[in-house]
């Protein structure tokens, strides 16, 4: 049990709660053209900024524990950093290090997977996001495992590809398929046979999260496991066919396919096989894992559940220990802000809609399911619509704001954290008009929440976990917009490397820190891990000494 945080005797208190508002996927754009945030009328946010000190925070690369500053941030590592107050080495870096050192291949899970298929004569299957986006997975990890499997005497490998178009270019699938097919061809010989067996777009099959769309997982199960689906001779043929038949379709939405020879699927998953789900990020791995592992499963009819040796790349849920077998240990995150606040008697509300509910709970709490103190913590999920985000770009902003405003006025909470998913989820669609709509819809709710905070005498902290909507067009190395054959900009559907805002709206400011409006009075050059110490400051406590520095200039008092 942690000790309570020390109170700051120089803090003069506020009447209302501290509200942490996370605008998911909203940063400061590097390029004027394609910055949907700058192109939106954000009148309420601008009004808050005009009265508030603010700074820009780093939300990518090393600042959130990723291998290099060329790596875009994501919602999972972003919420880890904000909630944990420090930077931990994250999924991609851990996996790369485990492969480089050979630790993965010496571990118990790898040995069980390999020994199983060598004993049964079965197939080693890999399912995962087929790109080098380094947010959910990386193709280099897949290639290294296939090479090692061959070295260890595995004879048959099948790969089930989930096309990206979200963390990489929206129509880049063949840029990965063709080199990968060449890679497999170079390995294949009389004693080793590796092939692509099935696939489809990540937002159409397999990679649902938070129980939002189980039919998506069912479609994946049918093609990966049962070998049921439209048949093609190759992944390239499948991609080209769907692009021809469905003009404008992007990779994340590509329909499911099965690779077949002589009318028979080349790689259904059957008894005696081994299966590796090679995504290292957990949110979009839990549902397909449940389909493989759970005895009592009622989300869809599995038809048959093969007896396989199944493993995930990492442990996707540390509290529930899912999956049962995994290749790489996750970071050990302890002493999170949530745990400290619970130990200090702070009454907390965490709220978002389904798409980001796990981010303000599980990820914010250091990959921990459940609460630290049932008496002090309230978690609320607003159910997301199961429709394409570009069709409902406002998402559930109003419903989230309704509940937050009620909570602010109730006096029942000291700290409220919420996530508006719009900038990220709609940003991933690549539909510029929808993103503008999502930003302006969110802005209305920011105005409502700011008004409630001011009426209650609280403090509003506005920030983001990474950029996305701020960078909606593809640019070349010189900054020029890349265009399609018809002259329209090429949409960018991935996250950006841009900094994100940190705005401190404190209407009843009492002089405890430097609070001149605009950029300059808050500490600069920090990452989003500084949000934890900042919120702890604003709640009247002294942050733990090893937490990353607060953005507040509080002098000797803090």
Whole-angstrom distance, CA of residue 350 vs CA of residue 296: 30
E strand residue ranges, 405-555: 415-420, 459-463, 500-505, 518-519, 541-542
Query: Which pairing describes strands 53-57 and 156-163: parallel, antiparallel, or unpaired?
Result: unpaired
Query: What pairs with residue 56 in β-bridges?
Result: 501
Cβ proximity of 36 and 493 under 8 Å: no
Whole-angstrom distance, CA of residue 227 vs CA of residue 139: 23
Cβ proximity of 57 and 549 under 8 Å: no
Whole-angstrom distance, CA of residue 68 vs CA of residue 157: 31
Cβ-count burial 506-533 (b if 16+ within 10 Å, e if not): bbebeebbebeeeeebbbeebbbbbbbb
For each of the chain's 558 residues, which pLDDT tens digit applies? 799 999 999 999 999 999 999 999 999 999 999 999 999 999 999 999 999 999 999 999 899 988 778 778 888 889 999 999 999 887 788 899 999 999 999 999 999 999 999 999 999 999 999 999 988 999 999 999 999 999 999 999 999 999 999 889 999 999 999 999 999 999 999 999 999 999 999 999 999 987 889 999 999 999 999 999 999 999 999 999 999 999 999 999 999 999 999 999 999 999 999 999 999 988 899 999 999 999 999 999 999 999 999 999 998 876 577 899 999 977 778 999 999 999 999 999 999 999 999 999 999 999 888 999 999 999 999 999 999 999 999 999 999 999 999 999 999 999 999 999 999 999 999 999 999 999 999 999 999 999 999 999 999 999 999 999 999 999 988 999 999 889 999 998 888 999 999 999 999 999 999 999 999 899 999 999 999 999 999 999 999 999 999 999 986 434
Sheet of 518-519: strands edge to edge?
Answer: 377-382, 348-353, 415-420, 18-23, 459-463, 500-505, 53-57, 518-519
Cβ proximity of 206 and 225 under 8 Å: no
Whole-angstrom distance, CA of residue 268 vs CA of residue 286: 21
For the chain, helix (H) and strand (E) counts, in that order, are 17, 19
- Say whether 347 sits in a helix, a strand or coil: coil
Is 75 a known active-site residue?
yes
Whole-angstrom distance, CA of residue 11 vs CA of residue 537: 8
Selecting among 75, 98, 274, 469, the annotated active-site residue is 75
What domains does the chain contain, in order, with CATH numbers?
Answer: 6-90+332-557 (3.40.720.10), 92-328 (3.40.1450.10)
Nearest to 378 by CA among 405, 363, 360, 359: 360
Whole-angstrom distance, CA of residue 75 vs CA of residue 460: 21
Cβ proximity of 391 and 431 under 8 Å: no
Cβ proximity of 508 and 15 under 8 Å: yes
DSSP state of 427: G
Whole-angstrom distance, CA of residue 158 vs CA of residue 254: 20
- Say whether 149 sits in a helix, a strand or coil: helix
- Say whether 194 sits in a helix, a strand or coil: strand
Q: Which two tokens stand for residue 33?
A: 């053209």
């Amino acid at each position: 049990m942690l000790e309570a945080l020390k109170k700051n005797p120089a803090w003069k208190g506020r009447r209302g709660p501290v509200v942490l508002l996370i605008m998911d996927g909203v940063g400061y754009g590097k390029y004027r053209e394609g910055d949907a945030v700058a192109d939106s009328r954000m009148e309420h946010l601008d009004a808050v900024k005009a009265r508030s000190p603010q700074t820009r925070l780093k939300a990518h690369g090393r600042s959130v524990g990723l291998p290099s500053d060329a790596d875009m941030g994501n919602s999972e590592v972003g919420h880890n950093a904000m909630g944990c107050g420090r930077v931990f080495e994250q999924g991609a870096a851990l996996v790369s290090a485990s492969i480089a050192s050979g630790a993965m291949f010496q571990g118990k899970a790898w040995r069980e997977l390999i020994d199983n298929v060598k004993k049964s004569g079965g197939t080693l299957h890999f399912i995962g996001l087929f790109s080098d986006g380094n947010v959910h997975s990386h193709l280099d990890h897949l290639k290294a495992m296939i090479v090692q499997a061959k070295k260890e005497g595995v004879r048959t490998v099948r790969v089930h590809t989930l096309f990206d178009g979200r963390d990489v270019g929206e129509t880049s699938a063949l840029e990965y398929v063709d080199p990968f097919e060449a890679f497999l061809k170079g390995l294949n010989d009389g004693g080793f046979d590796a092939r692509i067996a099935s696939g489809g777009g990540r937002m159409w099959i397999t990679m649902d999260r938070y129980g939002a769309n189980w039919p998506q997982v069912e479609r994946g199960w049918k093609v990966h496991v049962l070998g049921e689906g439209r048949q093609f001779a190759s992944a390239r043929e499948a991609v080209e066919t769907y692009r021809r038949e469905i003009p404008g379709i992007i990779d994340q939405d590509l329909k499911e396919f099965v690779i077949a020879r002589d009318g028979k699927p080349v790689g259904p998953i059957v008894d005696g096989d081994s299966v590796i789900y090679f995504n290292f990020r957990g949110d979009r791995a839990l549902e397909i894992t449940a389909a493989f592992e759970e005895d009592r499963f009622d989300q869809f009819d599995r038809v048959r559940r093969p007896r396989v040796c199944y493993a995930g790349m990492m442990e996707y849920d540390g509290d529930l220990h899912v999956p049962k077998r995994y290749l790489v240990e996750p970071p050990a995150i302890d002493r999170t802000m949530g745990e400290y606040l619970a130990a200090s008697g702070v009454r907390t509300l965490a709220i978002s809609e389904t798409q980001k509910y796990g981010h303000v709970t599980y990820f914010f709490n250091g990959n921990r399911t459940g609460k630290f103190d049932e008496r002090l913590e309230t978690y609320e999920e607003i159910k997301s619509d199961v429709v394409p985000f570009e069709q409902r770009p406002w998402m559930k902003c109003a419903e989230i704001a309704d509940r937050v405003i009620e909570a602010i006025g109730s006096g029942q909470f000291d700290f409220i954290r919420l996530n508006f998913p719009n900038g990220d989820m709609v940003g991933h669609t690549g539909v510029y008009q929808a993103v503008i709509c999502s930003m302006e819809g969110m802005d209305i709710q920011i105005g409502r929440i700011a008004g409630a905070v001011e009426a209650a005498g609280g403090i509003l902290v506005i920030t983001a976990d990474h950029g996305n909507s701020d960078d909606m067009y593809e640019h070349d190395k010189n900054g020029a917009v890349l265009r399609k054959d018809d002259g329209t900009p090429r949409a960018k559907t991935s996250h950006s490397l841009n900094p994100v805002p940190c705005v401190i709206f404190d209407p009843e400011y009492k002089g405890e820190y430097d609070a001149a409006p605009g950029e300059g009075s808050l500490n600069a050059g920090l990452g989003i891990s500084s949000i934890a110490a900042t919120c702890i400051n604003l709640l009247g406590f002294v942050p733990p000494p090893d937490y990353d520095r607060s953005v507040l200039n509080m002098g000797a008092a803090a």
